[in-house]
Structure 1
Amino acid sequence: MDTDVLIVGAGPTGLTLANELLLAGVSTVLADRLPQRSDLSRAGGVQPRTLEALDQRGLLEPLLATGEHPVGNGHFAGIPLPLGSDEHPLPWRSVPQVVIEGFFEEHLAAHGLRARRNHELAGLAQDGDGVTAAFADGTVLRCRYLVAADGAHSTVRSLLGAAFPGQAGTSTVVAADARLDGADAVLSHTWNEDGHWAALFPLGTDPQGRPLRRLVLGGPDHSLPREVPVTEEEVRRGLDTVFGTRVRLLGLRYARRITNASRQVAEYRHGRVFLAGDAAHVHLPLGAQGMNTGMQDAFNLGWKLGAAVQGWAPKDLLDTYHAERHPAGAAVLRNVRAQSLLMDWAGTRDPEVLAAREIFTDLTGLPEVRHRLAGLMSGMAVRYPMPGTEDHPLVGRPAPDLDLGPARVHELLRSGHGVLLDPAGAFARTAAPWSDRVERVDRVGQGVAAEPMLVRPDGYVCWAGAGDPVPALGHWFGEPR
C-alpha cells in the first residue's frame, strides 16, 4: 500500500477527515484537482454542533482567533432563530469556508500533511485488499480505503456509477460576495411584491480588511441558466429592485448562479470507497448546512476508518457510517425543500405559499417549535441509532460538555479515544481491557451531577445510565485486549 487512506478533494469535508485520520495515526494522502485553494467564501457559517466537534479536537479557539467571526442567529426559511441554548451553549458563528480551508491546511501542514494539488482522478479499481487510483498525470496510488470528498460533480461518484437520485434544479438565484453600503439597516431577508428577494449575511472581511457580505438575489429577473454570467449591473439592479436606494453595491468579489437541485447518493459506502460531503448530497445552500453536514460526515467516518486500519474495528463498524449519516443527510434535504417552499425561492408570490408562510411564522412564536427548528439548523437534532441502548435520553446524541474536575468532556476527546465517565468508580476492572481505546474518568467537578456514560471518539453517547457497559464497549470499540 502507498497509503492507508486516499482522500479525493481538499475542501472542508476532505480537510476535516484528514485531520481525523491524522489523530488516529493513519497514513493519508489528500489529493485535489485544483492547482491552488480557492479564495471564494462559498459557505459562510458554522453550526453549533460543528463548533462543538472542533472544540473536541482543540481546534475551536485557534480557528476563532483567525479573525473577526461574529456570533449570529440562524434562520429557517428566512425566519430568525436563536441557535444557542443552555444545553449546547456554542452559538452560530460567521466563519467563511475559505477561512476554514486555510486554517485546516495550515494545521495539517504543521503536522506534515499537505494536499497534493493538480491531481485529477481519472480511474479507480478496488479488490478485497484495497483500491487502486489512477490520476490524469500518470500517478497511480494504492490505498486500503478511498474517500470521495470531491464535491457536487464528484469524479469518484461518476467512476463508481453510484446512484444519485433526487430532483434536478428548476430555478436559479445569484449568490455573491460583495461590499455593500447600508446593509446594516435592512432585514437579513427581504421580499418585494413582484417576487424579487434578497438575503444578506456577514462574511468577515476581504483581504484589505473591508467588511464583506454574502448576498443572495432571487426572483424572476435572476432565474437564468447557470452558464449565464452574473454582471455587476445585474447585482445593482437586483439591490435596487428590493431595497431601492437603501443598499448600494461598493464592490463585487465574485458572483455565480446556484440551483435548487436536491440529490443524495443511495449508498454512502461502496466496498472500500466512501462518499462524503457534496459528493454524497447536494441541496440549496441554506444555513451553510452543506458544509456543516459534510464536516459531520468526516467526524463520523474518520475514527471508524482509523479503527479499521489499526485493526480493532468491530464487525460492521464501517457500515454504520451509511446507517448514521444517510438519514442525517436526508433530514437536511427535507428541511431545505421545506425552506425553499416557505421562502418562495422561485419568486412566484403564490397566494397559497404566502398564506402557508404567514401561518408558519406565527407557529415559530411557540417555544417548542423554535426549539425543534433550532435543533435542525444547529445540527443538534441528529440522533444516531445505538442498538439496544436507545431508551436513555442521552444515547445517540452529542455528549454534554461536563466539567470533570481536571478536564471537560470535550478536552478528554482530543486524544481521539472514547471516554467512559464512571463517577461511582464501578467500572475500573470492567473497562481495563479497552484502556488503549477508551479513557475511564471517575472524577467530576464540584457540584456537577453526572451519571455513567460511554462517549465515542466523535463525541456521541453510545451508552448511559444503569447496567453493564461491556456490550456497548464491545459493539463500538471491538474485542477487549
Structure 2
Amino acid sequence: MTAEVLVVGAGPTGMTAANELRLAGVSCVLVDRLPRASELSKAGGLQTRTQEAFDQRGLLEPLLATGDYPVTTAHFAGNLLPLVRRRHRFPWRSVPQVVIEGFLEEHLAAEGIRVRRDHELAGLEQDADGVTATFADGTAIRSQYLVAADGGRSTVRKLLGAEFSGRPGTETMVAADVRLSAEVPMTTITREGYRAQVFPLGVDAEGRPLRRLTFGGPGWSRERDIPVTEDEIRTGLKTVFGNRVELVELRYARRITNAALQAAQYRHGRVFLAGDAAHVHLPFGAQGMNAGIQDAMNLGWKLGAAVRGTAPEGLLDSYHAERHPVGAAVLRNVQAQSLLLDDGPDSAAVRSLFTELVHLPEVQYLLDDMLSGMGFRYEIPGSEEHPLVGLPAHDLGPELRAGRGVLVDPEGQFGDLAQRWADRVNRVDTGAEAKLVRPDGYVAWAGDPDGLEPALRQWFGAPLS
C-alpha cells in the first residue's frame, strides 16, 4: 500500500493531522495499534485556542451539538481562575477526549478516511524518497512522509532512537473516569500527604455527571501496568475524603506517572513527532491533548505544501522551531503545578503564598494566557515589529475552513499581488487591518506593505508567475 502521508496513531492529534492533510488535498492513511477506540478520556477539556481552531475548520459547532459540555473555570494546580471565565470568545469547556475522538473519527469517515485499526507498527525505514512502515502482520505501507501521533510510549519514536529527555517518572497515580455520590473539592491534600483532584467530564447519556478522578500519595505508587480495581479506588476515596463521598460507577481507570519528557527534535528526516509522542507530562488542564491538536494544525498544512511541491525552503523545519518551545513551556507549567501539589512541608508554604497571589487579576490573566493556548506567539519574522504577527487571528472563522492561507485586504490594495498566489491563498475584504494568515490561523504578516511579498514567498513558496 502507498500513501502520500502515513499517520500512526488515531487519537485527537492523529485525527486532526489526517483532517488537515485531507484539506490540503493529500492522500492519507491513518492507522492505530488498538483493535478498537479507547474508552478512557485521557483529557477532559477543550482550551480556548483549540476551540478557535476547530471553529476555523467548521468543526466546533457540530462537536458541541453532540452533547451537553458546560463552560468550566480554568485552574492552576487546583486554584480556580474565575476572572478569566468569559475573557475569550470561546471559554474553556468540559468535553471528554472520548467524545472528541468519536466525533473526529465520524467526520473523517464521512470524508472517506477510515481508521485502520489493529495495525501494530514493527519496523520503520526511510530513504531520500520516503518512508516504509512495516506492521506485525507483515503488511507494509510506503509513504512520502510519516506523522508519529502514537502516544507517550511511541513505537515510532523508539524505532527512530529519538532522544526523549527530561525528568523520568518517580511515582504513579491513579486516573479514573467515575460517577461519585456527592460533590467534592477540586483539589484536596490531607495532612498525611494523600491528594486527589476531581474535574468535570460532562454528563453521560442519562444526564448524570461524570468526573475525572486522580489520586496518589505516600506508598500509593504501583507499577504502571498493574490494573486499577474498584476496591483500590474506593480505598483512595476513603483515604482522602473519609465518608463524604462514595464510588457509584467506574467507567475506566489507568495509572499515570509524573514524568516530564520531551523529544529533542520533532523532525527526523521524513518522520515528524506530534502530541504525546513528542511531549509527555501529568494531565493537568488537558494541555497534552490540546497541545497535540495544535501540533497537528501546525504540521498538517506544511506537509501538504511539501507533497504538492509548493513548500518553500525551511517550511518543514519550522514545525520543530515553532512547536518545540510551546511543548517546553507546557512541561514547565505542569511541573510547577506538580510542585504546588506536592506533599512536602516546603510545598505547603509555597502553596499558601500562591493561593494569595492567584487572587490578583494580573496573575489570573497571565495564567490564562498560558493555559488557554492564546498566549503562545511564534517567532515569525516581523513579530518584533507588529503586535499581530505570530499570534492567532482571532477574527477569522469561515475564511479558514478550506485550509488555505488568507490575505485580509479590507482596502483592496493587494489584489494584483494576491493573484500570483491565488492557488494557495484566498483574498477577503473583511477585517479591520490588512494581514496575511497562514492555514493554521496564525498571522504571518501585518503592517509594512513592502513586507507582504516576502511573507508570501516565505510561507507559500514561489508565485504562479
Normalising to structure 2: TM-score of the pair?
0.96
Paired AA for residue 366 in structure 1: L
- Residue 67 of structure 1 pairs with residue 62 of structure 2: no
TM superposition shift of 1:208: 5.2
CA distance in 1, matches of 2:371, 2:351: 18
Q: What CA distance in whole angstroms lies between the structure 1 residues aligned with 2:85 and 2:301?
A: 28
Instruction: Report the CA distance between 1:223 and its aligned residue.
Output: 2.3
Q: How far, CA to CA, are the matches of 2:64 and 2:102 in structure 1?
A: 13
Q: Distance in 2 between matches of 1:443 and 1:393?
A: 19
- 1:76-121, CA deviations, whole angstroms, 9 ceiling, x for partnerless residues? 1111124857773201111111111110110010011101111111
**Residues 425 and 48 (structure 1), Cα distance of their counterparts in 2 relative to 1, 3 Å cut:** same
Quote the residue 1:124 is aligned against. 124
Pick the aligned partner of 1:368 from 362, 366, 370: 362
* C-alpha deviation, 1:33, in angstroms: 1.0
Q: Which residue of 2 aligns with 1:11?
A: 11
Distance 2:121 2:141 in 1: 10
Structure 1 residue 224, shift from structure 2 partner = 2.6
- For 1:288, the equivalent position in structure 2 comes to 286
CA distance in structure 2 between the partners assigned to 1:169 and 1:39 by the alignment: 24
Equivalence map 1:54-453=2 (5 Å): 54-82=54-82, 84=84, 88-183=88-183, 186-206=184-204, 209-344=207-342, 348=343, 350-401=344-395, 409-444=396-431, 450-453=432-435
Mean CA deviation greater in 19-28 or 119-128: 119-128
Which deviations, in whole Å up to 9, do the C-alpha atoms of 1:395-443 show, x marking residues without a partner? Answer: 1011121xxxxxxx21100011111111222111122201121111223
Question: Which AA in structure 2 matches 1:382?
Answer: F
1:164 aligned partner, one-letter code: F
Q: Distance in 2 between matches of 1:374 and 1:454?
A: 26
Does the aligned pair in 2 maintain the 1:181–1:247 contact within 8 Å?
Answer: yes
Cα distance in 1, alignment partners of residues 171 and 71 from structure 2: 31
More displaced 10-residue stretch of structure 1: 237-246 or 423-432: 237-246
Aligned residue among 442, 448, 460 for 1:466: 448
What amino acid maps onto 2:29 in structure 1? V
Between stretches 163-172 and 81-90, larger displacement belongs to 81-90
The separation in 2 between residues aligned to 1:289 and 1:360, in whole angstroms, is: 21
Counterpart of 1:210, as a letter, is: R
For residues 37 and 135 of structure 2, the distance between their equivalents in structure 1, rounded to whole angstroms, comes to 19
Q: Which secondary structure does the structure 2 equivalent of 1:3 belong to? A: strand
Secondary structure of the residue aligned to 1:415 is coil
Once the 2 structures are TM-superposed, how far is the Cα of residue 73 of structure 1 from its aligned partner?
1.0
* Partner AA of 1:470 in structure 2: E
Aligned to 1:480: 463
How far apart are residue 243 of structure 1 and its match?
A: 2.1
Cα pair 2:164 2:264 within 8 Å, conserved: yes
- The answer as to whether partners of 1:83 and 1:374 remain within 8 angstroms in 2 is no
Distance 2:225 2:85 in 1: 42
- Single out whichever of 223-232 and 240-249 deviates more from structure 2: 223-232
Aligned residues: 463
C-alpha distance after superposition, 1:223-250 (max 9, x if no partner): 2332333222222222222222221111
C-alpha separation in 2, matches of 1:296 and 1:389: 20
What's 1:404 paired with? none
Q: Distance in 2 between matches of 1:238 and 1:154?
A: 30
- Aligned counterparts of 2:106 and 2:459: Cα–Cα separation in 1: 32
- Number of the residue aligned with 2:436: 454
TM-score between the two structures when normalised by the length of structure 1: 0.93
Q: Identity over the aligned pairs, expressed in percent?
A: 66
The residue type paired with residue 23 of structure 2 is: L
The residue type equivalent to 2:300 in the other structure is G
Tell me if the contact between 1:83 and 1:378 (Cα under 8 Å) persists in the aligned partners.
no
- Relative to structure 1, the CA distance from residue 229 to residue 83 in structure 2 (aligned partners, 3 Å threshold; closer, same or farther) is farther
Task: Tell me which moved more, 129-138 or 292-301.
Answer: 129-138
1:406 counterpart residue number: none
Q: Deviations over 1:40-72 (max 9, x none)?
A: 222111111000000000000010011111110
In 2, Cα distance between the equivalents of 1:192 and 1:239?
Answer: 12
Consecutive unaligned residues of structure 1, counting only runs of 5 or more, are 402-408, 445-449
Residue by residue, what CA displacement relative to the aligned partner does 1:296-344 show, whole Å, maximum 9, x if unpaired?
Answer: 1000000000111111111110000000011110000111111100111
Question: How far is the alpha carbon of 1:221 from its aligned partner?
Answer: 4.6
Residues 4 and 309 in structure 1, CA contact (< 8 A), matched pair in contact too: yes
Of 372-381 and 208-217, deviating more is 208-217
CA drift at 1:136: 1.3
Letter in 1 for 2:280: V
Report the 3-state secondary structure (helix = DSSP H, G, I; strand = E; otherwise coil) of the residue aligned with 1:305.
helix
Is contact 2:48-2:90 (8 Å) kept? yes
The structural deviation recorded for 1:197 is 1.7
> What SS class does the counterpart of residue 151 from structure 1 fall into?
coil
Q: Deviations over 1:251-286 (max 9, x none)?
A: 112222211011111110011010101111111111
d(CA) in 1 for partners of 2:84, 2:21: 29
Runs of at least 5 residues in structure 2 that lack an aligned partner in the other structure: none
Residue 401 of structure 2 aligns to a residue in which SS?
helix
Whole-angstrom CA distance in 1 between matches of 2:73 and 2:87: 16
Q: Amino acid of the residue matched to residue 449 of structure 2?
A: G
Q: Do the aligned partners of residues 389 and 249 (structure 1) sit closer, same or farther apart at CA in structure 2, a change above 3 Å counting?
A: closer
